[in-house]
């Protein structure tokens, strides 16, 4: 029997140093993955920048940054530091404010003190840095626990809001539909919907189409958005035309708008597949863009003031007939007012340009084009408002 010694690599015993280091490095890698959640350094830095900007906006809202006349620059910055300190303090509960003061006092306390008794001197060592850091860690744990509870509640609110909004567009004869929303926070104050209702003759079927934007954002706006959705769904089951429906929605909104401070802009339309007529009321919302197949642009502006400001304002309606190839683009102000790092707004000109470029595409493709262009324009700048867009294409 013959053997081929050259076919096998020579045996080498494992390096004991390597055998010890590899498990250690593996634990380090697992620890880092757990801490960083698998994000790369540039992603972590971007996340830090976003958090820092959000925190600065939160605290600076309570600080007057205007320098006093004649005040030296160094003194102005010292005053600002004091104002930011109190802005942070006032966000804490009274008990945690006391803990924070205790932590700061401990961290700046002397490391050791001398105590004389008779002819002897007793040197007492007290590590204030350690105990101060421990108290700060305790405050951090308490704040994180609050954040976790709030995050869990916000996640539940987000899931409930997802139930209220349609996940996929319904099948509407004569129309192709696409929509998307992106909240500035966990939950949004924007509302969109498409659903069927009985026609005026009691036999045919029409479809209500709505996009609305509650003033403000986050939880307060989301709660009011739910009331807008509930009132619209309830009123849609009654034999009201669009103008009457919006008027009744306004009556309900007035009772929940805090004397008009929490108003709602809305665009509500009813599409009749048999006649291809789109009857609409614009209640102070960004006028949707009607792009005809020829390329001509019209704006759907007819209506009245936002919901929730006055008790019985007039709401006029108008109707347009959609021909094959026509587009209706509805959007919230978070689209056209999206800002980049230079505080420039996205604007309607860029939106119109993308509509012209994608006029031959499907609504889902054009919607993706618009949302990507908004993202590219904004870049790393924070999102200040909810972004919602709905596209209708007549086929």
Is residue 371 within a helix (H) or strand (E), and if so which, with residue range? helix 363-378
Which CATH number describes the domain made up of 169-394? 3.60.40.10
**CATH 3.60.40.10 segments of the chain:** 169-394
Nearest residue to 270 via CA among 219, 235, 309: 235
**Which two tokens mark 26?**
């593996």
pTM of the model: 0.70
Determine the Cα–Cα distance for residues 11 and 4; give it in Å rounded to an integer. 15
For the stretch 45-89, pLDDT in tens is: 888 887 787 787 778 877 888 878 888 888 888 888 888 888 888
Give me the mean pLDDT over the 333-346 stretch: 91
Determine the Cα–Cα distance for residues 351 and 297; give it in Å rounded to an integer. 12
CA distances from 272 to 191, 298, 331 (A): 22, 20, 22
Most confident of 62-76, 101-115, 268-282, 369-383: 268-282
Q: Please tell me the predicted confidence (pLDDT) of residue 84.
A: 86
Question: Between 384 and 367, where is the model more confident?
Answer: 367
Output phi, psi for 59, to 5 deg. Answer: -80, -35
Most confident of 77-91, 200-214, 273-287: 273-287
pLDDT at 242 > cutoff 80: yes
Q: Please tell me the predicted confidence (pLDDT) of residue 11.
A: 53
Query: Percent of the chain at pLDDT above 70?
Result: 88
Q: Please tell me the predicted confidence (pLDDT) of residue 4.
A: 47
Band (155; pLDDT cuts 50, 70, 90):
confident
Determine the Cα–Cα distance for residues 184 and 161; give it in Å rounded to an integer. 14
Q: Please tell me the predicted confidence (pLDDT) of residue 163.
A: 77
**Which two tokens mark 283?**
């209640």
pLDDT at 199 > cutoff 80: no
**Which two tokens mark 393?**
């294409």
Nearest residue to 264 via CA among 330, 189, 328, 180: 189
């Amino acid at each position: 029997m013959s053997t081929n010694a050259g076919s096998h690599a020579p045996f080498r015993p494992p390096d004991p140093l390597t055998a010890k280091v590899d498990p250690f490095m593996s634990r380090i890698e697992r620890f880092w993955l757990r801490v960083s959640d698998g994000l790369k350094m540039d992603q972590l830095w971007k996340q830090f920048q976003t958090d820092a900007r959000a925190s600065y906006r939160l605290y600076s809202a309570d600080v007057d940054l205007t320098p006093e006349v004649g005040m030296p620059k160094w003194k102005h910055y010292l005053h600002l530091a004091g104002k930011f300190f109190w802005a942070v303090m006032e966000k804490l509960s009274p008990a945690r404010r006391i803990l924070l003061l205790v932590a700061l006092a401990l961290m700046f306390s002397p490391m050791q003190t001398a105590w004389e008794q008779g002819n002897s001197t007793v040197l007492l060592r007290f590590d204030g840095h350690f105990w101060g850091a421990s108290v700060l860690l305790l405050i951090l744990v308490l704040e994180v626990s609050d954040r976790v509870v709030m995050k869990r509640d916000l996640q539940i609110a987000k899931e409930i809001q997802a139930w209220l909004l349609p996940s996929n567009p319904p099948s509407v004869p004569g129309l192709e539909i696409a929509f998307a929303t992106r909240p500035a926070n966990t939950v949004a104050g924007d509302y969109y919907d498409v659903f069927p209702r009985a026609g005026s003759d009691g036999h045919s079927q029409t479809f209500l189409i709505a996009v609305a934007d509650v003033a403000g954002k986050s939880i307060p706006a989301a709660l009011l958005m739910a009331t807008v959705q509930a009132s619209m769904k309830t009123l849609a089951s009654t034999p009201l035309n669009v103008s009457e429906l919006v008027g009744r929605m306004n009556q309900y909104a007035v009772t929940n708008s805090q004397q008009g401070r929490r108003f709602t802009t809305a665009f509500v339309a009813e599409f009749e597949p048999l006649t291809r007529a789109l009857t609409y009321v614009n209640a102070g919302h960004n006028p949707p863009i009607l792009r005809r197949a020829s390329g001509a642009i019209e704006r759907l502006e007819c209506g009245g003031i936002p919901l929730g400001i006055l008790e019985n304002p007039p709401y006029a309606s108008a109707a347009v007939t959609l021909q094959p190839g026509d587009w209706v683009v509805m959007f919230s102000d978070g689209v056209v007012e999206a800002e980049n790092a230079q505080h420039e707004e996205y604007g309607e000109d860029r939106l119109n340009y993308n509509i012209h470029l994608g006029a031959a595409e499907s609504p889902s493709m054009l919607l993706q084009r618009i949302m990507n262009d908004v993202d590219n324009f904004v870049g790393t700048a924070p999102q200040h408002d909810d972004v919602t867009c709905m596209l209708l294409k007549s086929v």
